Structure 1
Amino acid sequence: MSAPETAPEATDDPPATGSSTGTGTGTAYDAHFRVWRGDIEGGELTDFTVEVNEGEVVLDIIHRIQATQAPDLAVRWNCKAGKCGSCSAEINGRPRLLCMTRMSVFSRTDTITVTPLRAFPVVRDLVTDVGYNYAKAREVPAFVPPEGLGPGEYRMRQEDVGRSQEFRKCIECFLCQDTCHVVRDHEENKRPFAGPRFLMRVAELDMHPLDAAEDEGLDRKSAAQEEHGLGYCNITKCCTEVCPEGIRITDNALIPLKERAADRKYDPLVWLGNKIRRRTT
């Protein structure tokens, strides 16, 4: 795929006021969209002039383009409520959900450029192959139930529940994976690096007080570093900035996981304590 062009990033400026250039209702106007059309072999940005009405989001406009000008335009979407993560794309170069980006954040004179997620192969138009993410998900060992406890017998402190609950808000939109420059700019890193979404999953399991992974010989901290590429992350916080659920991926998951992994590997007291514990169990 040839790299699609991008326009300057959108601002939160209110739409320009003045007479409508659309239907004459005073609220509708005509906007200039540039939408990437093509497939894995290549493509280009196509210009559209399309009506925008009050309260609409970018996904509404993409649907209107489909209905009136480009019926073969491919776009992935499902819930239109910001909860399924399907309609991920890049709007003026920034990874966003099409259904959660209101047209009111743009000026009426802006050219709005919509392109597919740059980190993943294009299937067609705005639809990308995000199979990389599901492959990485399968590489993270699941929660290990504690021995001797059955369903309904788990007990946790509320603070531990709250800490991991933040990470469970993830809607699998993969915007964090797309914006992570380790994945986005270096194709060769996709094999050794899980990306922020799945390092966050490792962190969630590692801090879970009932996870009995170590009893089964699984060291999640070491696995994060040696198998999932934790060291590739240089905590730029770009993943946190694009998360539509407001999860503090870097501060609450990746940095603490890095600290615990470093302690496990380099702190002599932690190393000695682990050795003693293994001998006594």
Structure 2
Amino acid sequence: MSYQGKFRVWRGDDSGGGLEDFTVEVNEGEVVLDIIHRLQATQAPDLAVRWNCKAGKCGSCSAEINGRPRLLCMTRMSIFQESETITVTPMRTFPIIRDLVTNVSFNYTKAREVPSFAPPKDLAPGEYRMQQVDVERSQEFRKCIECFLCQNTCHVVRDHEENKEAFSGPRFLMRVAELEMHPLDTADRVDQAQDEHGLGLCNITKCCSEVCPEHIHITDNALIPMKERVADRKYDPIVWLGNKLFRRS
């Protein structure tokens, strides 16, 4: 069973562009990426779109569908009405390269700013031991496919370009939290999260969790616990007094 679907797709580059209307065949069981590929094959061979696995695991085909950040390959056409006009636009937070492709190098810059896992110096590779409960605590964070939809929807950078230098975004604050939770990591991630990655700018609206295709509870399980640790260290008067009395850093 098929029908003629109505689409509005953003076309252009860093110098400008706009939405163009298309009518494309839609077949049962298809996802939005299928329609974009059919559009390339039949009407717009120069349409630029980034994709790779078409299985929701590479994170390449991130875009905005009817204004909501989504993966093109995981958004089924069956969730829309046949009479509905579906708008497909590039991620708004990042600079346009062409059509649906954006420059996400901001995220790789922030990734390099997170120091890697720092195990105790007296432990050799193969000697690491940790309890299963500690493994499970941060296991969900390792499901991240780095689609950067959480980065795109976070209004701290989406609506305030000036924050990009000081704020790493939910994906990399989650990485800092994951390392802080690791019982064998010796680096001090608490001050780092606040002072270098801008944790204080996050006001926990949970929009990052809402768009995560892996259903990671970024805010509840990573960002809020990290904020609590920062608050304990920097603002708890008992902790402050203990640090002064016992000269703890």
TM-score range, shorter chain: over 0.9
Structure 2 equivalent of residue 77 of structure 1: 51
Over 4 Å off, 4+ runs: 272-275
Q: Name the amino acid aligned to 1:234.
A: N
Report the 3-state secondary structure (helix = DSSP H, G, I; strand = E; otherwise coil) of the residue aligned with 1:67: helix
Structure 2 equivalent of residue 115 of structure 1: 89
Question: Is 2:12 the partner of 1:38?
Answer: yes
1:54-69 to 2 correspondences below 5 Å: 54-69=28-43
Pairwise CA distance, 1:277: 7.3
Of 234, 243, 254, the match for 2:223 = 254
CA distance in 1, matches of 2:235, 2:164: 27
Structure 1 equivalent of residue 207 of structure 2: 238
Number of equivalenced pairs = 248
Structure 2 equivalent of residue 132 of structure 1: 106
Of 220, 226, 236, the match for 2:189 = 220
Pairwise CA distance, 1:152: 1.6
Report the 3-state secondary structure (helix = DSSP H, G, I; strand = E; otherwise coil) of the residue aligned with 2:138: helix
Which ranges of structure 2 fall in alignment gaps of 5 or more residues? none
Q: Deviations over 1:192-237 (max 9, x none)?
A: 0000001101111111101011xxxxx3111111111111100000
CA distance in 1, matches of 2:70, 2:127: 40
Report the 3-state secondary structure (helix = DSSP H, G, I; strand = E; otherwise coil) of the residue aligned with 1:166: helix
CA distance in 2, matches of 1:277, 1:178: 42
Pairwise CA distance, 1:270: 2.6
Q: Name the amino acid aligned to 1:124.
A: R
Q: Name the amino acid aligned to 2:184.
A: L
Pairwise CA distance, 1:259: 0.4
Q: Name the amino acid aligned to 2:143.
A: K
Larger radius of gyration: 1
Report the 3-state secondary structure (helix = DSSP H, G, I; strand = E; otherwise coil) of the residue aligned with 2:4: strand
Cα 1:229/1:86, change in 2 over 3 Å: same
Question: Is 2:88 the partner of 1:88?
Answer: no
1:97-176 to 2 correspondences below 5 Å: 97-176=71-150
Q: Name the amino acid aligned to 1:72.
A: D
Q: Name the amino acid aligned to 2:204.
A: I
CA distance in 1, matches of 2:247, 2:74: 50
Pairwise CA distance, 1:100: 0.2
Pairwise CA distance, 1:274: 4.8
CA distance in 1, matches of 2:33, 2:238: 54
State TM-score, norm by structure 2: 0.97
CA distance in 2, matches of 1:273, 1:148: 29
Q: Name the amino acid aligned to 2:192.
A: A
Pairwise CA distance, 1:278: 4.4
CA distance in 2, matches of 1:131, 1:146: 32
Structure 2 equivalent of residue 24 of structure 1: none
Q: Name the amino acid aligned to 1:252.
A: N
CA distance in 2, matches of 1:162, 1:277: 34
Bigger Cα displacement from structure 2, 146-155 vs 201-210:
146-155
Pairwise CA distance, 1:269: 3.0
